[in-house]
Structure 1
């Protein structure tokens, strides 16, 4: 049991015996007896947890999480808690990124660093973690909106921030995640959909500077590959020329069982561009299908925008993803959805939410079908009836 002792100067201290039977004391200053009694109760629970090895109850764990550094140091000095690591925002995120660097892809680490920059730019590197609350998390979201970021980009950043603060909870630097209040599930962005017609696709391909760039676009538009991840991972050994199909390694989904890759047909529209790069004697063929333009420092999107403009078209949103989306929209007209999503590498839910588009040609086709099957007007029916009577 712990007890409260008064000092001559009016201060108070909590006295107790630790697990080894040694008498210890914690100075708590000149505070009311009611507050001192509350501290004594929590100290008793900490002592009991240390002696028995049982988990600390939630109430005392929450109390400890809200203490200032001075009181935490006092508890650590007498062996009731472990000495706390620095609980500042910048260091916590740096530790998280260092821990994850070995088990995630470089592109994911780059996303972590983007989130770190947004968090530290807004809150500051030295922001104490325990001072963050849900209100400040919402203010951070408002800050991202003011930066002109798209809704889904903000949600992706929020999801990563949640993961970082879950790590802080695991490290016992926090009890509650202040970013759990932020939405992180992606929402459909149909206003950013764009269907690239086969005619315009050929214009874009003709405007490409070389055969490899033509193949990059053809693989996305006619093969439905993710660019650059799946396109850069494609090897010549993955192509089965005899059976007109090829294997696509999917870095984005490989962490899910059975989603490491997929088999895709060599569609007739795609075949000429593969043949050109594979069989052209002037090409110095390497292991990978895309060899010259696979340098990570090369900005594919910037170059692609220049190609689109050279073709006489206006660059559209999400340029490479909308190539995949255009292909999936075409294929769904001719094949069952389970077949199409198997080739494209997504799920029916994702396809319906984020890929499949309604085109202008769909409206035109609907009008054509409806007009051809529309019932006759009253005047037309009367004229037909008069014609029959006249014939008789």
Structure 2
């Protein structure tokens, strides 16, 4: 699909389950429990009602839940005319197929399949999925790399071995597909009597559809247990104290004769260059340290020692993206990145917006959360004498409360 092509997407929200592991409750199954003053499913629907490519939203519900769903829909955002319901089957797989069949005549090109009990899907994740579909991928799976050590148990409940976690990911929803491909795969699976697939990407794999992994979102959790619902309610009600952390970083590199400097990943022609083992990007080095500081993960030298020859001339983007992944693996959401450059020359102003865009891309956050500023040292000190460039960076990260 071309870069300027507009996606026409259907959305299937799977809400026919009974949610036994969350226990019984007067509000009904877990998708109808209240968090932040609204049912779980209402929060989920709101995310897609605000997402412009969603042309048609089908909610697959249990036959006993018509009234519960009608009450949940009352509290949803504008655009509810796009929502319709179909009845689900005895398994999730049957319910998804019912949703796909309901969309068969809608003319959509793609479909997103979402668990009703993932109420924290956000616009940033949907934008990543949209971009991956627009790039021509037939199936897109948001996922988070496994960080816990995995153990295999024997029949007696003892450890039978350790499972290497390299290359292992935890799958999330929404999972996105070229519509006709996933509809055909589901129909074939049903015809073959296959009802053992754990999710829709597994059916796509079985059908020979290549599935593209993209970065999921740490906050995009599935509410499974009673405590999950209680924690979600705390988060949305503001009763839990947010774990907001700020980290600072500072770096300086010497200027030597050369043809230009790299700052925030942008090369600026100049009659000097910055001396360093990598590309000497003081801005990204300082911001890397700031991110690592928010979770006590040391500094850039601990992760990328200058004595290691593999980092000679390396792009500092590698360092910053590594620090951002460490933050995410520890449950952090990057809220803000601010870099101040201190230099007599070259001029930063003409490249400021491009630098901000670079930071937003490297960190996976919106442009309005990235700031780049510059000042001179009024010709005072080593910076004033054009012997070096310094950078000060601040990062703000919100971490999930421990379970």
Q: TM-score, normalised by structure 2?
A: 0.22
Q: Which has the higher strand share?
A: 2
Bigger RCO (CA 8 Å, 6+ sep) = 2
Q: Which has the higher helix share?
A: 1
Whichever of the two has the greater Rg, that structure is 1
Q: TM-score, normalised by structure 1?
A: 0.22
